[in-house]
Chain A
Amino acid sequence: MIFVALRMLTFDTAKYLGLIFTIAFSTFLISQQASVFASLMTRTTSQIRDAVDARVWVAHQEHRYIDEIRPLPESALTEVRGVDGVQWAVRVYRGLSRVKASDGTFRSAITMGVDDATLVGLPRKMVLGDLESLREPDAVFLDRFGYSYFFPGQPFRLGGILEMNDRRARIAGITDASAPFVTFPVVYTRYSCALTFAGQERNTLSMVLAEPEPGLEPRDLARRIHQTTGLTAMAADDFGWQTIWFYIKNTGIPVNFGVIILVGLLVGVVVAAQTLYLFTLDNLKQYGALKAIGVTNRVITGMVLLQSAVVGAIGYGFGAAMCASFFYFTRNVPHLRGFITRFEILGGTAVLMALIVVGASLLSIRRVVTLEPAAVFRG
């Protein structure tokens, strides 16, 4: 009876395609919006993720998220270094600079100042140049999207000159830094150099990057640093999540995305489930005849489930492909960089769509199984 079920499903092309489109649209809406939301939240932690050398971040005790930095006194570094279990600790600066290209192109840029001696805190993925060249005078690394902004249409080339807060900076490397939450260019330089770009404040130390001694967990070290110095100290992952939660709690972003995802779910539940159910109702007379002829409820249940599974799988496949295509074709769009879909999201969407389809199938199955076959004799 498999081919009978499939023929019943595909015979009315408009209904069949309508079902697939509805499920595909719902899948796309849910997975695409969830992916954008997750990517956006991930972007808030881009500098934390790019600093692969250090596993513990230390910041001011009132620190709430990475985009709002309250500087520490230089003594904080010494304090952290003095904590038992710290293998090493280095400075890091994070601030905003006004960057101007020679043709007058201007933009604010996130400026990261990494330790002069060790260069800990640099992203490891370089598009052009090598890490050591950051030690040269006035050297900065610019992320590739920042380069394309300041030098549009030009091939990647080292030696370009920028003005950062009216001071000369020479591009010594181009990084593949992760996209930040706001689409500012990201400039990496040495800590000492960053201070000259930033101008002087009483306290200039943004944060301290620390590495635990072998055998000590980053979380344990972070707890120890906090207990000893009173500063905020977290393992890199927790530090990232603190920023993500700040955005979730303090911005309307999750609500907006949540509403759209909910709309996707509603489209799935209401439209797809209803269409599936109506499809079964349309065929009720045929199911009644099949039951009278001697097709068992088990076989009819299998037929309905097969029909639902086929439209569900095809619809989900199209929706997931549309979602993946969206991120594939927009991967080089500057303001969408870092936006990706994830297997977890596609998997979660698959589970949601399966629940919707199975739910709709159960309604349909209930209707068919309880159908009195004698009804076919009543015209």
Chain B
Amino acid sequence: MTTSSSIAISCDNVTKQFGNTNSGTLALRGADLDVPFGGITMLVGPSGCGKTTLLSILAGLLEPTSGNLSVLGQSPNALDRAEQVLFRRRNMGFIFQQYNLLPSLTAAENAAVPLLAAGVARKQAVARAADVLDRLGMAPKRASFPAQLSGGQQQRVAIARALVHEPRIVLCDEPTAALDAKSGHAVMEMMAAVAVDPQRAVVLVTHDNRIFDFADRIVHMEDGQIRQVDESRDAPSPSPRVPQVQ
């Protein structure tokens, strides 16, 4: 059981229709989901089942067609466009399948982007980003450009970018899809060690069943609906199965 104060995100009968009512696509058909703080919640399911749509709605990047959504106790739909952007910037970190790093920035500069967007001075922002990169074992690669990094290293930079501003929610879209098994496993170890925090919720969309072991909860989706939620442990907390990175 979770209490409302331990819930980061709550969806109640959320639907999403693309296009008009008659000929459009109903991507979500009444999703009910509570995402607690302190663990990794994985959204899994076949392609087209609505995982990415749900993730986009949780991120505030898409508006649900109907239903209620509460993120950190706030209804994103009640905010205007600019407030939504600020809310996202302040409270959310993102990790994308294709990393989406800026090729023109170094690893440290890429990781500093959320701070720069928030108006932090460049020097300070890059220094803070470098600290996070160090915790992810990327100290020697701080000054490298994305093209000089392997896929696993790029994803670590993306993790640093997602965590640098200490968001309360981290949203990940297929973070291991572009990586081989070893790199994917290493990235997930990093995620579990650095991203998971009692005050943070991590939502991760994946097809990759090799990383299911890292989940605290697995939400199975099919045909725009949540079919089943598997709790892998009793209380959400940082994963004990992986060592903390020094």
Contacts and interface: CB of A to CB of B under 8 A. Distances in A.
A8 to B, nearest CB: 5
B61 interface: yes
Interface in B92-140: 92, 94, 96-98, 100, 102-105, 109, 113-114, 116-118, 122
B59 interface: yes
A294 B88 contact: yes
B185 interface: no
A288 B100 CA distance: 9
Chain A interface, DSSP helix/strand/loop, else mixed: helix
Contact of A299 (B88, B103, B117): B117
B116 A294 contact: no
A8 B89 CA distance: 21
Contact of A379 (B61, B89, B92, B97): B97
A202 interface: no
A292 B61 contact: yes
Contacts of B86: 294, 296
Nearest to A5: B104
A4 B56 contact: no
Interface stretch (A38-46, A48-56, A171-179, A369-377): A369-377
Given A293-B89, A293-B114, A4 B102 contact: yes
A289 interface: yes
B56 A294 contact: no
B103 A11 contact: yes
Contacts of B116: 1, 4
A8 B98 contact: no
B96 A3 contact: no
Contacts of A299: 117
Interface string A1-17: 10110011011100000
B72 to A, nearest CB: 15
A285 B103 CA distance: 11
B15 interface: no
A352 interface: no
A374 B117 CA distance: 18
Contacts of B118: 294
B117 A11 contact: no
Contacts of A286: 100, 102-103
Given A296-B85, A377-B96, A378-B52, 13 more contacts: A1-B116, A8-B104, A286-B102, A286-B103, A292-B96, A293-B89, A294-B86, A294-B90, A296-B86, A297-B85, A373-B61, A377-B52, A377-B55
Nearest to B158: A289
11 contacts: A1-B117, A4-B113, A8-B102, A285-B98, A289-B102, A290-B113, A292-B88, A374-B56, A374-B61, A377-B55, A377-B59
Contacts of A263: none
Contacts of A291: 85
Nearest to A283: B102
Contacts of B56: 374, 377
Contacts of B82: 296
A294 B102 contact: no
A295 interface: yes
Point out which of A12, A286, A292, A378 has the most chain B C-beta atoms below 10 A from its C-beta. A292
Interface string A130-152: 00000000000000000000000
Given A286-B102, A376-B100, A294 B92 contact: yes
Given A293-B117, A294-B86, A379-B97, A7 B55 contact: no
A294 B116 CA distance: 10
A10 B205 CA distance: 35
Tier of interface size on chain A:
20 to 34
The interface centre, meaning the residue of A285, A296, A297, A374 with most chain B CB atoms within 10 A of its CB, is: A374
Contacts of B117: 1, 290, 293-295, 299
Contacts of A297: 85
Given A290-B117, A292-B61, A379 B98 contact: yes
Nearest to A286: B102
A11 B56 CA distance: 31
Nearest to B112: A4
A376 B59 CA distance: 12
A373 B59 CA distance: 10
A299 B89 CA distance: 13
A223 B113 CA distance: 72
Contacts of A376: 94, 96, 100
B143 interface: no
A11 B114 contact: no
B62 interface: yes
Nearest to B205: A377
Interface in B32-66: 52, 55-56, 59, 61-62
B189 interface: no
B216 interface: no
